[in-house]
Structure 1
Amino acid sequence: MSTPPTADNILQSPILIMAKRAALMRAQGRDVIDLTLGEPDFNAPPHVLEAAHAALSGRLTYSPSNGIEPLRHAIRMRMKDIRNLDYADGQVTVGCGAKQIIYNAFQATLKSGDEVIVPAPYWASYPAMIKMCGARPLIVSTTREEGFRLTAEHLEAALRLAKSPKWVVLNAPGNPSGSLYSRKQLLAIAEVLRRYPGVMVLSDDIYSEIRYTNDPYQTLAAVAPDLRDRILIVDGVSKVYAMTGWRVGWGCGPTPLITAISSVQSQNCTQTSTLSQLAAVAALNGSQALVKERNAIYRQRRDSALSVLGACEAIDVACPEGAFYLLPRIRTIKDDQAFALILLEAGVATVPGSAFGIPGHLRLSFATDESILIAGCERLVQKIKASV
């Protein structure tokens, strides 16, 4: 049985730890290229900034815990436009970023002894949040040959072993893998889930609009509509609109779950910023041209970094289909955490793959200037060659 951890044993985010170390070294005058954070180096779109500036002339009061009505409406319309999914107003809730929506969902549904199936590699915060809610993450390893995706066979095996499974996490494009699921793959997963009616699905779609393929985006709720009353789709403005600091995310799902998430929200921080919500309305309702333009820039950065890393025989790296991370495997190292610290001293900050449940790898963010990214990758390659 699991119990909620106390404040002194809650692990800090390993991503933020490495980012803080890099920032401290830079503050000391060290030359460090930071490839740790998944934070776009762009600003929010101009029309978003204009809307926020205009909102400052009004009175910014408390909003409902589930978000202001114009934002909930904009979310519903966006879900219909890009995913062909219809949600009622009571099936949408807004929080302080997608991260808080996920935590609130776990807090509202998990109890001691429950289990959450998490495919690895995973976003580093999933296991920590699950443990904070008194539950236990069941990590299911995936491979590059499987595209770092949860397969129906692996899901079936995990569910058979689980004693009290409550959630399955699906994240696509994945952080840190950048992998997408095809319709066929999701249909196979759906077939397994139909045999376990008590299990819900967290569909973390925060990178859904940062993709480098022309294929339509596939999400489980659209592929398997009969499972929609068990699926929570999570999204937000942080990544696609470069609005990380505005802290606006949302969840779309069955009414009872959304109501429970909103109730948790009402007790922990009441609401996310009203100003930020008004800016998010402008982001969703305004021109989406910048999204395509920036995706093209990300693609160019990805390809440039892959060219540098791919020239080193000690590095094995897949080409991500979305998001803005590379996940190279370093064949010549035994301890990715130790090597990440060595790299930091050499002037390039990365996150060890162990933080994402995939030892022997490093995560590099290419949400940064292309010349800086290339220089960072070159330092990485040079250090690997020097250590052989």
Structure 2
Amino acid sequence: MNNSQIARRMQSVRPSPTAAISDRVRALEAAGRQVINLGEGELDFATPAHISYAGIEAIVQQQTKYTAVAGTATLKAAIAAKFARDNQLHYRPEEIIAGSGAKQLIFNALLATLDAGQQVIIPAPYWVSYPDMVRLAEGEPVIVPCSEQSGWKLTPEQLARALTPATRWLILNSPGNPTGAIYSAEELRALADLLTDYPQVLIMADDIYEPLRYDNTPFASFAQAAPQMTGRTLTVNGVSKSHAMTGWRLGYAGGPQWLIAAMQILQSQSTSNPSSISQAAAVAALNHPAAFLGDWLETLDQRRQQVLRMVAATDGLSASAPQGAFYLFARCTGLLGRTTPTGETLHDDSALANWLLEQTQVAVLHGSAFGMPGYLRIAYAVEDGLLAQACQRISDACAQLR
């Protein structure tokens, strides 16, 4: 098959950079290299035992058949209870859908609502998949660069400049990937006020990192902060980050009935229901208090501080402390243009990330993948000893640049 046989929509879509770095790490490991992967968005913690046992019990009880496309009634009830308990959002069963990861639900929502040329406002830095999902749905990503000085958050002034009659969606990710930025309720209300005059605009609240927050930073979901926008908001969440269940592939969303129904139609013609075993495990995850979360956050905070110390001590790197998630978004412009010991000039963040991988066997992601050149994303959700090794390797390598 050649490129002429591939659909035109594929010509503007790139492979996921996070998946690509993971594939490259696996290839290097298969070749005998000892790589520390700080490029993947995955906790190193085990799925809590009671959740795993719920999945095992589902298999023992032969809960291994098709379910309703949007999820079992039991799972929907657990999702509704979570939204009401944690976010003061009240959804009926027909306003809830479960899918094979939050990623699938975001894609289905965009595919179900975008026509050619309609615009989606995406604050940068952004999760790598947002723009390509929009393009696959034949929409137009409108990237709005946000600054470190503004806390990596979209301001009302920036939103006002980006809104047009063609705007269909605004995507907000809080806590954010790759920066860990968290919007306050007041900041969300200020954005909502501007959207009053644009009734065609829907809001995607990607809350996948919701419980992973430091320093007692409060959290508000968009529709929680601006209840008048509930009928225009899709609130997306899942158990992958909150419960270390990335491989279980289970996400969920709540939103207006017409949108959930359209997403369900798409899902019925593509993947159908999410795994019945994963649904049973997610019920246990959502219905039981996350007693483990305090210990997880304490560990993640220690790792966050460790990487912050390394960055502060490394000439050419700098970073502000992330409020949530498990990434540090480090400015690396002070290293760009420098020369390696072998005479290679590192012209951009991609070259720097590639050199670090080859030189130190530590994988990080370049900021350009997130729409923000001149930065590196360092994921610190790895075992403490490995993280210490990785920090030392990065620091030692950067000291060799001239």
Q: Normalization by structure 1: what TM-score?
A: 0.96
> In angstroms, what is the RMSD of aligned CA positions?
1.2
Deviation (angstroms), 1:215:
3.7
Deviation (angstroms), 1:8:
5.8
Which letter does structure 2 place at the counterpart of 1:72? K
Which letter does structure 2 place at the counterpart of 1:336? D
Q: What whole-Å deviation, never above 9, does each CA across 1:68-98 have from its counterpart, x for those lacking one?
A: 1111100110111111111111110010000
**C-alpha distance 265-170 of structure 1, shift in aligned 2 (>3 A):** same
Deviation (angstroms), 1:287:
3.2
Residues 179-194 of structure 1 aligned to structure 2 (within 5 Å): 179-194=181-196
| 1:332 and 2:308 aligned | no
134-143 vs 370-379, which moves further:
370-379
288-297 vs 212-221, which moves further:
212-221
In structure 1, the residue matched to 2:43 is: 40
In structure 2, the residue matched to 1:133 is: 137
In structure 2, the residue matched to 1:277 is: 279
216-225 vs 89-98, which moves further:
216-225
In structure 1, the residue matched to 2:120 is: 116
In structure 1, the residue matched to 2:341 is: none
In structure 2, the residue matched to 1:23 is: 26
- Aligned with residue 352 of structure 1, among 354, 366, 386: 366
In structure 1, the residue matched to 2:379 is: 365
Residues 93-104 of structure 1 aligned to structure 2 (within 5 Å): 93-104=97-108
SS at match of 2:268: helix
| 1:377 and 2:391 aligned | yes
- Aligned with residue 318 of structure 2, among 312, 316, 337: 316
Mapped contact 1:5–1:132 kept (Cα < 8 A) = no
Deviation (angstroms), 1:318:
1.2
Residues 274-313 of structure 1 aligned to structure 2 (within 5 Å): 274-313=276-315
Equivalenced residue count is 383
Alpha-carbon distance in structure 2 between the residues aligned to 1:66 and 1:271 = 6
In structure 1, the residue matched to 2:216 is: 214
Mapped contact 2:165–2:198 kept (Cα < 8 A) = no
Deviation (angstroms), 1:213:
2.9
SS at match of 2:264: helix
Which letter does structure 1 place at the counterpart of 2:390? G
SS at match of 1:316: coil
Mapped contact 2:356–2:397 kept (Cα < 8 A) = yes
In structure 1, the residue matched to 2:81 is: 77
In structure 2, the residue matched to 1:58 is: 61
SS at match of 1:315: coil
Deviation (angstroms), 1:322:
0.4
Alpha-carbon distance in structure 2 between the residues aligned to 1:148 and 1:9 = 26
Aligned structure 1 segments of 4 or more residues deviating by more than 2 angstroms: 4-10
Mapped contact 1:236–1:249 kept (Cα < 8 A) = yes
Alpha-carbon distance in structure 2 between the residues aligned to 1:69 and 1:117 = 34
Alpha-carbon distance in structure 2 between the residues aligned to 1:9 and 1:192 = 31
7-16 vs 81-90, which moves further:
7-16
Residues 2-21 of structure 1 aligned to structure 2 (within 5 Å): 5-7=8-10, 10-21=13-24
Q: What whole-Å deviation, never above 9, does each CA across 1:96-146 have from its counterpart, x for those lacking one?
A: 000000000001001111110000000000001000111110000001000
Q: What whole-Å deviation, never above 9, does each CA across 1:233-252 have from its counterpart, x for those lacking one?
A: 00000001000000000111
Alpha-carbon distance in structure 2 between the residues aligned to 1:344 and 1:27 = 15
Alpha-carbon distance in structure 2 between the residues aligned to 1:28 and 1:87 = 50
Which letter does structure 1 place at the counterpart of 2:56? H
Q: What whole-Å deviation, never above 9, does each CA across 1:300-351 have from its counterpart, x for those lacking one?
A: 1111111111112311111000000011011221401111110110111111
Which letter does structure 2 place at the counterpart of 1:351? L
- Aligned with residue 152 of structure 1, among 142, 156, 178: 156
SS at match of 1:18: helix
In structure 1, the residue matched to 2:343 is: none
Mapped contact 2:12–2:135 kept (Cα < 8 A) = no
Mapped contact 1:124–1:355 kept (Cα < 8 A) = yes
378-387 vs 280-289, which moves further:
378-387
SS at match of 1:387: coil
356-365 vs 325-334, which moves further:
325-334
Which letter does structure 2 place at the counterpart of 1:93? I
In structure 2, the residue matched to 1:203 is: 205
SS at match of 1:39: coil
Q: What whole-Å deviation, never above 9, does each CA across 1:40-75 have from its counterpart, x for those lacking one?
A: 111111101111111112222111111011111001
Mapped contact 1:5–1:131 kept (Cα < 8 A) = no
SS at match of 2:224: helix
Q: Unaligned regions of 5+ residues in structure 1, if any?
A: none
Alpha-carbon distance in structure 1 between the residues aligned to 2:162 and 2:234 = 20
Deviation (angstroms), 1:6:
4.0
Q: Percentage identity across aligned positions?
A: 40
SS at match of 1:85: coil
305-314 vs 205-214, which moves further:
305-314
- Aligned with residue 250 of structure 1, among 244, 249, 252: 252
Mapped contact 2:10–2:136 kept (Cα < 8 A) = no
